[in-house]
Structure 1
């Protein structure tokens, strides 16, 4: 090879290296586009332009296709996310943020929401909808007209239970007790029957956290041995039930990936969690769509659970909840012969017939059943979530 050619290659060695590096994923992109099934959730390669208008749109569409199909894209995204988290302690999503003392917070419920929206709203930075109190009154009136007496447990979420772990600039906004839920109670907008049937144990959970886990540091949902104390609180407040008629549940500890890890690839957050050891406690348990073969709706709702404890008092607990329900439901099996939990997150998947059959099943044997509605504060008090989740679950008034 002549010296001139070597000189030319030397001058452009970096350019050639870049081209070579990019050529490999480019070839992979084309190969995958031809051999792998089409994913409708990704940008599609545009057809050959047949008009000047389509020709003008083509560059943007091709760029979108390249962004979605670039060779080794998933591996590179994971690597980028891992590097950002390791070096800068940043998450690649507005939904998660680092706090202090090793705790992480879900700070937005959607990628299109402002940063820290979920925290600020929970701590008192949002104006409650004027529809909330009238609906809560209506909810209890409807149940009472059907001869049922439910209770509503509003679960304080991590920002108000662990405000000291929030970023320093945000922590003071969440330290107090003047949260929107407390404001609702103080407004006198709830009728006496409704107000007497609601528990928001913020002060108690701030005390419980000193000796027991309520929120693992990498989790959004609550889980841990502290939930047994929350269950006992609710039984004392709502039903004055004797608490020691059945032996305490055995527990087990294990490392578990965070419940929010699906929001970002490549960052593997883990925490030690404590859960009831159902087998050691001689409790039968089930989580998921196979738990209720009696009703088709159980399979569609998916976030459901049920437990049986022959050592517990002969009574049934029905839990209608958001996603917080299945995390505490097994702890109630110490106190009830039967526990059945149905989350309403997928309620819109049910047909009228399926919903009717589900309500008939849930509200059976009312004389032997306690009913607990359970929603966390961020979901119960904002965007009319409580009404949307529970309105179709309301029983038919007695005739």
Structure 2
């Protein structure tokens, strides 16, 4: 009798375990109905009052359950860990598992095709139709205002490390016939714009042989190789003395800027950055760096400022996308003042703030060098346009 009951229990053990494993998360899902709505998750649909609403309920409830199922985050983490370590793949189209231990930002959105962020900066990419007209406008406008800015187009990691991209993209990303190269060669680009743009793809491919430009787990650049790009840029564009002593550096383990896309998987890597304090440089990051225009700085967010009492007493204004912050750190070696402003959020400035920003950043023009810094994807696909069109300077005042 006893053995018979044990046998029956044994035969149903798997069923019992499965029911228990599903029941606990399901009960937690029911508990979630009493919590405040999370704007990032699907809302619980309202009770249906018509037949049509009833028919539309199942997919809405399914979406709600998918977002609120108990232990959802833990299940996602387990799936991410298994796929990463066992199958060398990411669960998102936005990340790519490359070769030689390097990972890539593969797409800028979940709704675009595979490798979108990589192919657009490699050989088959094609710059937006608005790119060349806006580059012409940018430099023409600044020259009319009596200023002579320069643009550094930073080659991003798929183009700099083509041997590390997924195998079927190696040939495409090894090419030097890229969107920035074709834009620079286009007869539609005004000569005054062409001479003010630097796209050092070949030089960066040489630099990365001896110094880090992109850590293997990063989308943005980082490493001592950036100082060499800074020297290359300043010698190409400006009469900046480059005989300043090297900056002291610090090396540490840091979290990847791609890590937030794949919870449960650590993408930490070794980073090398300037140690400004040890180098005698005052460094400041964030809105508090600009008490002259605190409202503007708070909106922009990604701003920084450096004062080097031992460098020539000249100012460098860096206007950029998210790649400018790291270069500004290294430029502090060569300028008494470096002021950096990322333009990702300039569209949020009100007219008064725009006027305040323009008045401030374009001051002391005789003692200021202006450098725009945008990575190839940003410069070729309207990030530059959208970030700077609202802060272009007005024409120079007529001389008395």
TM-score (norm 2): 0.95
Contact map agreement 2:123 2:175 (CA 8 A) in 1: no
- Of residues 222-231 and 283-292 in structure 1, the stretch that sits farther from structure 2 once superposed is 283-292
| CA apart distance, 1:5 | 6.2
2:149 corresponds to 1:150: yes
Q: Tell whether 2:57 aligns with 1:18.
A: no
Distance 1:305 1:140 in 2: 24
Q: 1:20 and 1:200 mapped to 2: Cα distance?
A: 60
Residue 369 of structure 1 is matched in structure 2 by: 368
Q: Deviations over 1:49-89 (max 9, x none)?
A: 22222221222222111110111111111111111101001
Alignment of 1:166-185 (within 5 A): 166-185=165-184
Output the CA distance in 2 between the equivalents of 1:47 and 1:177. 56
Q: Are 1:277 and 2:279 matched, yes or no?
A: no
Q: Distance in 2 between matches of 1:206 and 1:7?
A: 68
| Higher mean C-alpha displacement, 167-176 vs 301-310 | 167-176
Asked if structure 2 preserves the Cα contact closer than 8 Å seen for 1:292 and 1:299, the reply is no
How far apart in 1 are the matches of 2:15 and 2:54? 29
Counterpart residue number, 1:385: 383
SS at match of 1:169: helix
1:24-63 matches, within 5 Å, as 24-34=24-34, 36-63=35-62
| Aligned match of 1:124 | 123
The one of 284, 287, 306 aligned to 1:286: 284
Alignment of 1:1-399 (within 5 A): 9-34=9-34, 36-244=35-243, 246-295=244-293, 296-382=295-381, 384-399=382-397
Tell me the distance in 2 between the aligned counterparts of 1:328 and 1:335.
12
- Any idea what the Cα deviations from partners look like across 1:97-153, whole Å, max 9, x if unmatched? 011111111111111110011111101213323322121111111001111110000
In 2, the alpha carbon distance for the partners of 1:85 and 1:45 equals 32
Offset at residue 45 of structure 1 (A): 1.8
By how many angstroms is 1:9 displaced? 4.2
Aligned residues: 396
Deviation of 1:8 after TM superposition, in Å, equals 5.2
CA distance in 2, matches of 1:175, 1:3: 70
In 1, Cα distance between equivalents of 2:187 and 2:240: 28
Aligned 8 A contact 2:316 2:337 in 1 = yes
**More off after superposition, 141-150 vs 14-23:** 14-23
In structure 2, C-alpha distance between the alignment counterparts of 1:139 and 1:182, rounded to whole Å: 18
Q: Which runs of no fewer than 5 residues in structure 2 stay unpaired? A: none
Does the residue aligned with 1:170 lie in a helix, a strand or coil?
helix
> Is the contact made by 1:214 and 1:222 (CA closer than 8 Å) also made in structure 2?
yes
What's the offset of the Cα at 1:161?
Answer: 0.6
Structure 2 SS opposite 1:122: coil
Segment drifting more, 330-339 vs 126-135:
126-135
C-alpha distance 5-49 of structure 1, shift in aligned 2 (>3 A): farther
Q: Tell me by how many angstroms 1:330 deviates.
A: 0.8
112-121 vs 288-297, greater mean Cα deviation: 288-297
